[in-house]
């Protein structure tokens, strides 16, 4: 994300984690597993984002979360043991690593081929949001949705710092107020979309339930392993952020 060529733009923060690991903090599985926890993490992450982006000639206007990532399956899942050997769609390094840790059979399927893979049994399980589940009509092939809220990634809207500084003070103030309003509205809307998509999944015959205590505990162990691996890459900066979050 070097540069500052564009005067404004929107990005998915975690997509730039190869440049700086802190961008991926909100996509660590089973760390911030609710909107309240995601809000807490963002408040701690934001000063670091502001500093890093400032060094690159940019500034963060606002950030809005995607709906939480849940677990879809053809069969009931009461613990990680029920996921062993299951055909799991892995569409990112993170979802592939989860498959490895739970003993699932990772299958790489492009979005355009996803429906066919479900229909033919090539995929039996995946992890994505309720909104994506509705958009992709996953209820046509998968019967269970576990609201594990595995991670809640964020989009960020950035602006070129020089372009912002060139604005007069009243315009800067108006822009920052609009950004703050958009952020508050976006977090509220993300919650609303998540609730409505759960209702849509249910209305289309899908069983939508929270994870069992055993499944939640098992997935937390998966998250702990992936957090440890991330901290090895994120260094002292990552450790400071996570320590503050876990207090």
Average confidence (pLDDT) per 10 residues, the chain, 247 residues: 57 92 96 96 97 96 97 98 98 95 96 92 96 95 97 96 97 98 98 97 98 98 98 97 97
Q: What is the pLDDT of residue 10?
A: 84
| Dihedral sign (CA 58, 60, 61, 66) | positive
Give the angle subtended at the CA of 219 by the CAs of 216 and 225, to the nearest 5°: 145
pLDDT at 6: 45
Per-residue DSSP letter, 166: T
What pLDDT does residue 111 have?
Answer: 86
Residue 137, phi then psi, degrees to nearest 5? 50, 45
Distance CA 6, CA 56 (A): 12
Pick the CATH number of 70-146 from 3.40.190.10, 1.10.3720.10, 3.90.226.10, 3.40.50.10540: 3.40.190.10
Domain layout of the chain by residue ranges: 70-146
pLDDT for position 179: 98
């Amino acid at each position: 994300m070097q540069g500052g060529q564009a005067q404004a733009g929107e990005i998915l923060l975690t997509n730039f984690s190869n440049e700086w690991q802190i961008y991926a903090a909100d996509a660590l599985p089973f760390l911030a597993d609710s909107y309240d926890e995601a809000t807490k993490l963002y408040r701690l992450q934001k000063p670091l984002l502001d500093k890093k982006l400032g060094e690159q000639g940019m500034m963060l206007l606002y950030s809005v979360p995607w709906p939480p990532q849940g677990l879809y399956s053809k069969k009931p899942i009461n613990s990680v043991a029920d996921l062993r050997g299951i055909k799991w769609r892995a569409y990112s390094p993170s979802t592939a690593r989860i498959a490895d840790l739970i003993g699932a059979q990772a299958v790489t399927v492009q979005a355009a081929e996803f429906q066919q893979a479900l229909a033919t049994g090539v995929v039996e399980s995946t992890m994505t949001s309720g909104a994506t589940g509705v958009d992709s009509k996953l209820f046509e092939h998968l019967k269970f949705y576990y609201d594990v809220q595995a991670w809640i990634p964020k989009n960020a809207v950035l602006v070129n710092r020089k372009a912002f500084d060139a604005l007069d003070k009243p315009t800067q103030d108006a822009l920052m107020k609009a950004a703050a309003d958009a952020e508050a509205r976006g977090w509220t809307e993300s919650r609303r979309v998540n609730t409505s998509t759960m209702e849509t999944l249910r209305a289309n015959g899908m069983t939508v339930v929270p994870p069992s205590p055993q499944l939640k505990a098992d997935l937390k162990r998966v998250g702990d392993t992936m957090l440890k691996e991330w901290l090895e890459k994120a260094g002292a900066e990552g450790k400071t952020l996570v320590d503050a979050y876990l207090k």
